[in-house]
Amino acid sequence: MDTIGFRLKILRAQNHKTQDEIAAALNALKVKADRGTVARWENDTQEPTLPKVQALAKIYGVSTDYIIDGKDMVITPIRINVLGHVPAGVPFEAIEDIVGWEDLDPRVFNPSHEYFGLVIRGDSMYPKYMEGDTIICQRDDDAESGRDVVAYIDGYDALVKQLIKYENGNIELRPLNTVYPPRVFTPEQAEMEPVRILGFVREIRRKV
């Protein structure tokens, strides 16, 4: 269920502001607040008083009713780039192979995380993923065992594989299509190759 903190977090993300910047804007309106105060509001561990809600509404350009109870709520989606491929050795922010964009619902995708889209190439993850599918990924350098991840192996372009972690520290990058063999790495091999996780899959979008 939507909360005041959730709405404040969305508003800040939509306005591309940091918690420090919101605190500074509040203080400019003679409303005392610091980054910790803004964080507590967004985490729903403390509710802003009415004067502070009024100041926040002015900063974000919304009504006080919207902040308090979500009335007249307008959902502004998070727009992300969809990449054709992710080359190794290129800073993520500098990747130029942008083939489109996708909109994410901020009620489902936490605006405080970073996301990207990637077009599936090949059939190594068939039948779960088909060539031309767009996957929505959350940027992270680690993931839980069993998650499908986007990973670099030995400096090659990033691939989509299922990540399996073993108790002995080994990891496996497993294709779902049994035609292709899995690759298992000891911790030492994963460091030498190297194997790097770029993010994990949150959603598949298939064009019909």
Residues recognised as catalytic: 124, 161
Q: Please classify residue 161 by burial: count the beta carbons closer than 10 Å to its beta carbon, then call 0-12 exposed, 13-18 middle and 19+ buried.
A: buried
Contact predicate 119/128, CB 8 Å: no
Say which DSSP state 11 is in.
Answer: H
Q: Given strand 195-205, what is the order of strands in its sheet?
A: 98-104, 78-83, 115-119, 134-139, 195-205, 148-153, 159-165, 171-174, 183-185
Contact predicate 145/202, CB 8 Å: no
Contact predicate 195/152, CB 8 Å: yes
The total of other beta-carbon atoms located within 10 Å of residue 105's CB is: 9
CA distance linking residue 64 with residue 81, whole number of Å: 32
Q: Give me the phi and psi of 155, to 5 degrees please.
A: 80, 5
- What the block records as the tokens of 25 is 């804007």
CA distance linking residue 76 with residue 28, whole number of Å: 26
Contact predicate 41/58, CB 8 Å: no
